[in-house]
């Protein structure tokens, strides 16, 4: 059904009218959504999953993953310690310590992680890595191209650069000259090429042109909230550091966005990458010392890091838990009023979007806001809802628009036409359409949905769910939605978290953003 955007904003939450300020009115939000079809989301299981993930304070905490020793996490932990200037505990793993993980990585990356961790590389592993490097070839598509370019960088870092084949080097040089890739991939490719003795200046000039072409640095970056945003922000910081920071690029804003914050780091990988970008933007690495000490606390006696994700409660996760619960019509027992207000202790330092997150959480949880609290958030929410929309700000813009509707703040719809969607990758195109809710579906989005549906296994759960949602809004977009539904069902988390969904099928990591879009797609009437 093709509903204009103003009605659809809160319809995404399952509400048909602007949210009111009183707890009594907010209670109406918990009425169960009525599905006119048999959906694939198990509402009771969603409720159970959210309950199991809620800590005693009423905050959502995603699972801590523990298990076998991780070579990768060990390497990133020691990388953070080294960059911060803290001593690393003695590393003495048993010979078989990393066996369970070895199948996950290519010989190139296994060797890189061993070198990064400071471990000796067995001769047979080095031989296998050299052979893998020598076999690197021109990639058939964009995703494979990024893998090849990053493998070239890892090979150089691991001391395997001499094995890189000339044809692959020439191809990588063309990728930079033609701006094939994002800032993160391109800057690492430049570093890999210059390490081979390639003339640096032409590559730097090309990289500088790619940054200008992409619009990097035009707007100040926000604190990254998920992996894609982290890689984008870090990639731009590293690239600007490589080419020289232009005077009109807000270097301090990059440092601020990548500084350690309670909800902006969740495992040693995230810490290591944030730290690299933070330092490239002029930040003092000592600021990451508390993060580094946190990881030391979780090292095993032999100095290795187990597979884990230490997940700090964060406002955005709390908000999505409330959105998921409301979307499927169940109650989530998190975020009582006193807990929610306790999270506002540092309100004076909040960026605009943090006001939006907090406001939505309050309304969806039935917390009655005072007039002072509503007025405090109204202007920041208005500002962020009316900011210019680009690919990097889609989620931020969406949340701010929802919060504006919740507060009754009048904001204009995003002024985005069909040209916005041209040239976007399928994942970006379907997310933009899901968030911006065009009244007419651009041809580029139709094509993107068809691409996702043809090979759903190549895309994450979020993208598959958003493709299904948009297709259901515009009947006739797909002749068969079964491949998308099947892919979503494969992404359910295991065992007692079966009502929630993972980032990709089988990875076991609950993704609340992806879960929300799954629930939204399920509640949308299937196209007839």
- pLDDT tens per residue, range 263-297: 455 678 888 999 999 999 999 999 999 888 878 87
If DSSP codes are grouped into helix, strand and coil, which group holds residue 168? Answer: helix
Q: How far is the first Cα of the chain from the last one, in angstroms, to the nearest whole number? A: 10
**Do 335 and 356 fall within a single domain?**
yes
CA–CA separation, 259 and 19 (whole Å): 35
pLDDT by residue (tens digit) across 22-66? 333 333 332 333 334 468 898 888 988 888 788 778 888 776 555
Query: 450 burial class (0-12, 13-18, 19+ CB within 10 angstroms)?
Result: middle
Same domain membership, residue 366 and residue 479: no
* Per-residue pLDDT at 29: 33
Do residues 409 and 9 make contact, with C-beta atoms less than 8 angstroms apart?
no
* CA gap 360, 354 in Å, rounded: 10
Same domain, 278 and 385: yes
407 and 321 assigned to the same domain: yes
- Domain identity same for 407 and 440: no
Question: 170 is written with which tokens?
Answer: 């020439």
CA atoms within 13 A on the CB side of 156: 18
What span, in angstroms and rounded, lies between the C-alpha atoms of 234 and 224?
9
- The pTM of the whole model exceeds 0.85: no
Q: What per-residue confidence (pLDDT) applies to 100?
A: 67
Q: Identify whether 179 is part of a domain.
A: no
Q: Are residues 376 and 434 in the same domain?
A: no
Report CA-CA distances (Å) from 518 to 1, 82, 180, 461. Answer: 18, 41, 31, 8
The pLDDT assigned to 38 comes to: 63
Angle ∠(204,389,257) on CA atoms, nearest 5: 55
In a domain, 114, yes or no: no
Assigned domain for 353 exists: yes
* CA–CA gap between residue 399 and residue 420 (Å, rounded): 20
User: Are 299 and 390 within one domain?
Assistant: yes
Out of 384, 416, 448, a domain closes at 416
> Residue 98's closest CA among 310, 309, 303?
303
- Would you say residue 171 lies in a domain? no
Instruction: Note whether residue 33 is domain-resident.
Output: no
Structural domain boundaries enclosing 382: 268-416
For residues 117 and 382, give the distance between their C-alpha atoms in angstroms, rounded to a whole number.
47
pLDDT score recorded for residue 34: 38
The reply to whether 437 falls in a domain is yes
pLDDT at 417: 85
Report pLDDT for 131: 94
Is residue 520 assigned to a domain?
Answer: no
Radius of gyration of the chain (CA): 24
The tally of domains found in the chain comes to: 2
Residue 448 and residue 503 in contact, taking contact as beta carbons nearer than 8 Å: no
Q: Which residues of 289-328 are buried (b: 16+ CB within 10 A; e: fewer)?
A: bebbebbbebbeeebbbbbbbbbebbbbbbbbbbbbbbbb
Is 7 a domain residue? no
Q: Are residues 281 and 401 in the same domain?
A: yes
Domain shared by 462 and 400, yes or no: no
User: In which residue ranges of the chain is pLDDT below 70?
Assistant: 1-38, 63-68, 100, 102-103, 140-143, 225-226, 261-266, 308-312, 494-498, 506-509, 527-528
Q: Are 487 and 353 members of one domain? A: no
Based on the fold, state whether residues 390 and 447 are members of the same structural domain: no
Among the candidates 362, 384, 416, a domain finishes at 416
- 276: enclosing H helix or E strand: helix 268-280
CB–CB of 229/257 below 8 Å? no
Domain boundary among 373, 391, 416: 416
Closest CA to 527 of 464, 488, 463, 478: 478
- Closest C-alpha to 350, from 385, 377, 371, 370: 377
Domain shared by 274 and 412, yes or no = yes
CA dihedral for 192, 427, 511, 236, sign (positive or negative): positive
């Amino acid at each position: 059904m093709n509903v204009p955007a103003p009605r659809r904003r809160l319809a995404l939450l399952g509400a048909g009218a602007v949210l009111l300020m009183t707890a009594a009115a907010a209670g109406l939000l918990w009425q169960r959504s009525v599905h006119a079809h048999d959906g694939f989301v198990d509402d009771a299981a969603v409720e159970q999953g959210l309950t199991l993930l809620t800590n005693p304070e009423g905050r959502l905490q995603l699972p801590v993953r523990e298990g076998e020793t991780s070579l990768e996490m060990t390497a990133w932990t020691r990388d953070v310690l080294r960059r911060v200037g803290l001593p690393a505990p003695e590393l003495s793993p048993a010979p078989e310590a990393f066996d369970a993980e070895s199948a996950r990585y290519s010989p190139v990356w296994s060797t890189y992680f061993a070198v990064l961790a400071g471990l000796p590389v067995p001769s047979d592993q080095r031989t296998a890595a050299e052979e893998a490097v020598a076999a690197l070839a021109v990639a058939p598509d964009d995703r494979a191209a990024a893998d090849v370019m990053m493998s070239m960088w890892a090979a150089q870092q691991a001391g395997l650069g001499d094995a890189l084949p000339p044809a692959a080097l020439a191809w990588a040089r063309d990728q930079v000259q033609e701006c094939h890739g994002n800032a993160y991939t391109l800057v690492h490719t430049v570093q890999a090429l210059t390490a081979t003795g390639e003339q640096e200046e032409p590559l730097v000039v090309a990289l500088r042109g790619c940054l200008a072409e992409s619009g990097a640095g035009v707007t100040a970056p926000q604190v990254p909230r998920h992996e894609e945003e982290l890689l984008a922000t870090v990639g731009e910081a590293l690239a600007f550091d490589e080419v020289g920071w232009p005077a009109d690029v807000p270097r301090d804003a990059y440092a601020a966005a990548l500084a350690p914050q309670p909800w902006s780091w969740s495992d040693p990988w995230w810490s290591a990458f944030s730290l690299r970008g933070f330092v490239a933007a002029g930040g003092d690495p000592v600021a990451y010392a508390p993060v580094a000490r946190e990881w030391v606390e979780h090292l095993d006696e032999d100095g290795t890091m187990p597979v884990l994700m230490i997940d700090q409660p964060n406002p955005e996760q709390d908000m999505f838990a409330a959105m998921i619960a409301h979307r499927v019509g169940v109650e989530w027992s998190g975020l009582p009023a006193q807990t929610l207000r306790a999270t506002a202790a540092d309100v004076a330092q909040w960026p605009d979007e943090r006001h939006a997150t907090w406001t939505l959480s309050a309304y969806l949880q039935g917390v009655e806001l005072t007039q002072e609290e509503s007025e405090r958030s109204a202007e920041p929410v208005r500002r962020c809802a009316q900011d210019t929309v680009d690919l990097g700000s889609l989620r931020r813009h969406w949340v701010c628009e929802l919060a504006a509707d919740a507060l009754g703040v009048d904001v204009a719809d995003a002024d985005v036409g069909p040209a916005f969607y041209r040239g976007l990758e399928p994942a970006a195109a379907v997310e933009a359409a899901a968030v911006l809710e065009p009244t007419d579906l651009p041809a580029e989005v139709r094509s993107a949905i068809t691409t996702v549906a043809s090979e759903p296994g190549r895309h994450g759960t979020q993208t598959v769910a958003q493709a299904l949602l948009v297709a259901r809004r515009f009947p006739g977009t797909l002749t068969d939605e079964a491949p998308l539904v099947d892919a979503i069902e494969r992404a359910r988390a295991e065992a007692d978290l079966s009502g929630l969904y993972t980032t990709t099928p089988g990875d076991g990591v609950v993704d609340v953003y992806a879960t929300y879009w799954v629930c939204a797609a399920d509640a949308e009437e299937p196209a007839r």
